[in-house]
Amino acid sequence: MLIASQMEPTYARTVYPCFDEPAMKATFNIRIIHDPSYVALSNMPAIDVSEMKDENGSIWAITTFNTSLKMSTYITAFVICDFDYVTRTERGNEIRIWARKEAVENGYVDYALNITGPIFSFLEDLLNISYPLPKTDLVALPDFEAGAMENWGLMTFQESSLMYLPSDKFTGRKAVIAITTSHEIGHQACGKQFGWFGNLVTMNWWNDLWLKEGLASYFEYLGATFVEPKLSLDKVFHDHVIQAILREDNEIGVRSLSASEDKIKGSSFLISLFDNITYNKGASITWMLSNFLTEKLFIRALNSYLRTFSFSNANQDDLWTHIQVVVDAQDEVQLPASVKKIMDSWTCQNGFPVLTLNLSTGTISQEQFLNKKNENSTDTYNNTWIVPISWMRNGSSQPLLWLDKSSKMFPEMQVSESEYDWILLNVNLSGYYRVNYDQLNLKRLARVLENDPKAVPAVSRLQLIDDVFALTQFGYIQIESALELTKYLAREDEIFVWNIVLLNLVPEILESTLKNYEVYPLLKKYLLKRMLPIYHYYAGLIRQNIDALENDYFAQVYLEKLFATACWLGLQDCLDLSSELYAKWMNSPEYNIPSLIRRTICCYGVAMGSDKEWNFAWDMYNQTNSTKEDKDILLFALSCARESWLLYSSLFANLVMEGSLPHFYRCGEEFLHDVLKVMAKFVIIDVQIQELQVFYNMTLEENEREATTALLESAKFENTERRELLMKVADWLQKNIND
């Protein structure tokens, strides 16, 4: 049994009477009366444990904690548990990591203990501030909804965010732990009288939540890459943070980062603020800020902000004021407008800009990046941003420029007649925007990639690809221009770039419908030719030296997608490898198929096999000691069978084992919706809609039927569009197949 609190954002009021708002800071004297066989933890160290007897004669322990520092209610906390801990002292701060006794005994929290001290010290040194509390507890909770919570001096974690199994060879999990721990430590405001963001300097009100979560989400990557230097900061930040949010922050309905105070009312609404806008956009804007200010000035300004507002509250304008003071006191970095004016354009407006280039004249213009195919999208929106433009000409970096109105001419950006004169913007994605190059420059970039891909930094290669496909999808450019940039891919050796390529070129929706189309054989030829080098590199390691992948973080996350695509495109070596490893497993069940590609290997092991392979998967599925993950992989593998009678067996197995009835109309509403969507994937002509409608009328309840008409209509529209796009892709591939 265990009790652990979670107060943020507004649950402190359900535990003790209080003014439960972030700006109402107080000191807290906490005393907990509990079963004596348990230990009680809170923000501060215990100063006394005594006993008392109640009227029934039962003995209780009373743990009294030291008076807390002045703090907000949402980071007060307590845990009552029978856990064990490991401990280490770093610069006078006693760090204890608590977890279930067996977990501690087996060394599951040793990794967390090893990195927590160094992350504290790293942030102390970076921000020039020291931690004031005499102790910090980190507790791994077996059942916790959030990933982790930054209670001051008593951080709580989901077990999976804090535990690392020493037997796990692959370090992907270490990255998750390093990132999460570093995020929560980032919140641990500190200093004899100063502090970091969150606990010591807190936002005035929840409208500025991003000040703590965005900043913590930025610093978590600095801390994590400090303790795990094999993780590349640029790549991981780009992959986890910027990519993810650019994909999401592109509709009119998406909120802006900061809203005015009076718009954020009502406690049930607050929880929805803990979203990707707060975390990822907040961190991306911080990344951009630190880039154009230089890290030196950014940290200097943060330090002054933290010192001024420690034990109190601030809003985003206070941060801008402190940065302004630092900027005004030097002359290396010149800004085109006040810090507030620049930053308001990013935090108070929704969305982000796309820059459109005309490099014959050197003109750059901006508009909000929105889907041009939606009729009512753009006209009423004339947001403009003050955009820092980092850029590169022919491979060398150029001085930062600013676009501070809707359109501006930059004579220094004009390109010459020479096809070797090219320009790259937003180098390393130091700004939160996309770039729409003109045809001329795009051609030249495609040529550079083919001749000398490393002339363009890896993160920019990824961004170039992602931008052109996003621009295609939103109607800015034709698909043919985007495809030009894929010609170089045989020379692309970074799997994290390949991941974005595959995401754009072979999205899941395409995978499940593509085989019917003309484009599959063409794509197979065009793409496989380019995938071979990176495929063989990794297949070689899988066969001979898998340990070499231990520290290759992106291989651990993305290898499966690469292999799944190679096999799906019918690459013989991939199919052979699957049969080979699957057979090895069948011959000696104690052999483990490399976990990084187990799903793909099992799927194609079954697909390439016959009933023998299918039955083996079925038996393994039914073994009592198979885990949830095993079961998930095996159930998927069963459905990969190619013989129709095996597929029928799979269908039966899926329905029975997943507990759903063979009549899908009896299943839950959510699942039903998924099923309907899958069926709608193939609808292109009205006759098909009518057929499905007849089927639904027979099988669905009346209330369930209503939504299906709209679903089918919109699916028809999407499918028709996709088909048109695919025909263009097919035409282009046909023309370029032999390149």
- Whose Cβ is closer to Zn ion: residue 216's or residue 519's? 216
Residues annotated catalytic, as ranges? 184
Tokens of residue 268, six digits: 């049930």
Q: Is 238 annotated as a binding residue?
A: no
Q: How far is the CB of 138 from ligand BES (least distance, A)?
A: 13
Q: Does 208 bind Zn ion (CB under 5 A)?
A: no
Taking CA atoms, 483 is separated from 532, 535, 544, in Å, by 18, 21, 35
Beta-strand ranges (E) seen in 100-249 are: 135-141, 148-149, 154-158, 201-203
400 closest CA partner among 416, 383, 412: 412
* In the block, residue with structure tokens 């020039």: 128
- The option from ligand BES, Zn ion, none interacting with 146 (CB < 5 to 8 A, set by class) reads ligand BES
Q: Does 8 bind Zn ion (CB under 5 A)?
A: no
Instruction: Provide the CB-side half-sphere exposure for 266 (13 A, CA).
Output: 4
- Stretch of residues binding Zn ion (CB under 5 A), selected from 214-222, 362-370, 447-455, 719-727: 214-222
Q: Which of residues 376-415 bind ligand BES (CB under 6 A)?
A: none
Q: How far is the CB of 198 from ligand BES (least distance, A)?
A: 8
- Stretch of residues binding ligand BES (CB under 6 A), selected from 101-109, 142-150, 581-589, 605-613: 142-150
Q: What is the dihedral of CA 81, 87, 90, 94, to 10 degrees?
A: 40
- Whose Cβ is closer to ligand BES: residue 212's or residue 434's? 212
Q: How far is the CB of 413 from ligand BES (least distance, A)?
A: 38
* In the block, residue with structure tokens 């999976």: 160
**Choice from 8, 318, 467, 552 touching ligand BES (CB under 6 A):** 8
* Rounded Cα gap, residues 616 and 582, in angstroms: 10
Q: How far is the CB of 159 from Zn ion (least distance, A)?
A: 18
What is the b/e burial string over 299-316, where b = at least 16 CB atoms within 10 angstroms of the residue's CB? Answer: bbbbbbbbbebbbebbbb
Q: Does 241 bind Zn ion (CB under 5 A)?
A: no
- Whose Cβ is closer to Zn ion: residue 216's or residue 672's? 216
- The option from Zn ion, ligand BES, none interacting with 174 (CB < 5 to 8 A, set by class) reads none
Does 9 sit behind a cis peptide bond, omega within 30 degrees of 0 on the bond before it?
Answer: yes
* Rounded Cα gap, residues 593 and 577, in angstroms: 11
Give ∠ CA 449-455-458 in degrees, rounded to 5: 80
- SS3 state at 249: coil
What single-letter DSSP state applies at residue 658?
Answer: T
Q: Does 183 bind ligand BES (CB under 6 A)?
A: yes
User: What residue type is assigned to position 538 of the chain?
Assistant: Y
Residues 6+ apart with CB under 8 A from 680: 692, 711, 712, 715, 719
* Rounded Cα gap, residues 95 and 45, in angstroms: 11
Number of residues that bind Zn ion (CB under 5 A): 2
- Whose Cβ is closer to Zn ion: residue 213's or residue 367's? 213
- The option from Zn ion, ligand BES, none interacting with 141 (CB < 5 to 8 A, set by class) reads none
Give ∠ CA 397-400-401 in degrees, rounded to 5: 130
Q: How far is the CB of 678 from ligand BES (least distance, A)?
A: 30
Give ∠ CA 306-311-317 in degrees, rounded to 5: 50
Q: Does 216 bind Zn ion (CB under 5 A)?
A: yes
Q: Does 124 bind Zn ion (CB under 5 A)?
A: no
Q: Which of residues 207-266 bind ligand BES (CB under 6 A)?
A: 213, 217
**Choice from 8, 20, 213, 249 touching Zn ion (CB under 5 A):** 213
* Whether the Cβ atoms of residue 157 and residue 168 lie closer than 8 Å to each other: no
Helix, strand, coil fractions of the chain, as percent rounded to 5: 55, 15, 35
- The option from ligand BES, Zn ion, none interacting with 249 (CB < 5 to 8 A, set by class) reads none
Q: How far is the CB of 292 from ligand BES (least distance, A)?
A: 25
Q: How far is the CB of 431 from ligand BES (least distance, A)?
A: 23
Q: Does 185 bind Zn ion (CB under 5 A)?
A: no
- The option from ligand BES, Zn ion, none interacting with 274 (CB < 5 to 8 A, set by class) reads ligand BES
- The option from ligand BES, Zn ion, none interacting with 225 (CB < 5 to 8 A, set by class) reads none
- Stretch of residues binding Zn ion (CB under 5 A), selected from 46-54, 215-223, 514-522, 532-540: 215-223
Residues 6+ apart with CB under 8 A from 500: 243, 462, 465, 466
Q: Which of residues 493-532 bind ligand BES (CB under 6 A)?
A: none
- Whose Cβ is closer to Zn ion: residue 216's or residue 539's? 216
Number of residues that bind ligand BES (CB under 6 A): 17
Q: Does 184 bind ligand BES (CB under 6 A)?
A: yes
* Rounded Cα gap, residues 89 and 91, in angstroms: 7
576 closest CA partner among 608, 548, 551, 550: 608
Q: Which of residues 581-610 bind Zn ion (CB under 5 A)?
A: none
502 closest CA partner among 538, 462, 455: 462
- Whose Cβ is closer to ligand BES: residue 26's or residue 146's? 146
- Stretch of residues binding ligand BES (CB under 6 A), selected from 58-66, 182-190, 426-434, 454-462: 182-190
- What are φ and ψ of residue 59, in 5° steps? -90, 135
**Choice from 81, 86, 99, 149 touching ligand BES (CB under 6 A):** 149
Residue nearest ligand BES by beta-carbon distance: 147
- Whose Cβ is closer to ligand BES: residue 149's or residue 715's? 149
Strands 84-90, 93-99: pairing is: antiparallel
* Whether the Cβ atoms of residue 142 and residue 2 lie closer than 8 Å to each other: yes
Burial class (CB in 10 A: 0-12, 13-18, 19+), 17: exposed
Q: How far is the CB of 623 from Zn ion (least distance, A)?
A: 40
- Whose Cβ is closer to Zn ion: residue 182's or residue 556's? 182
**Choice from 38, 60, 205, 274 touching ligand BES (CB under 6 A):** 274
Q: How far is the CB of 129 from ligand BES (least distance, A)?
A: 19
Q: Is 183 annotated as a binding residue?
A: yes
CA of residue 4 relative to chain centroid, distance: 27
185 closest CA partner among 210, 221, 228: 221
Interface mask toward ligand BES for 90-129; x: CB under 6 A:
----------------------------------------
- Stretch of residues binding Zn ion (CB under 5 A), selected from 209-217, 432-440, 464-472, 581-589: 209-217
- Stretch of residues binding ligand BES (CB under 6 A), selected from 43-51, 143-151, 584-592, 617-625: 143-151
- Site residues, Zn ion (CB under 5 A): 213, 216
- Site residues, ligand BES (CB under 6 A): 8-9, 146-150, 179-180, 183-184, 187, 213, 217, 271, 274, 279
Binding-site annotation, residues for Zn(2+): 183, 187, 213
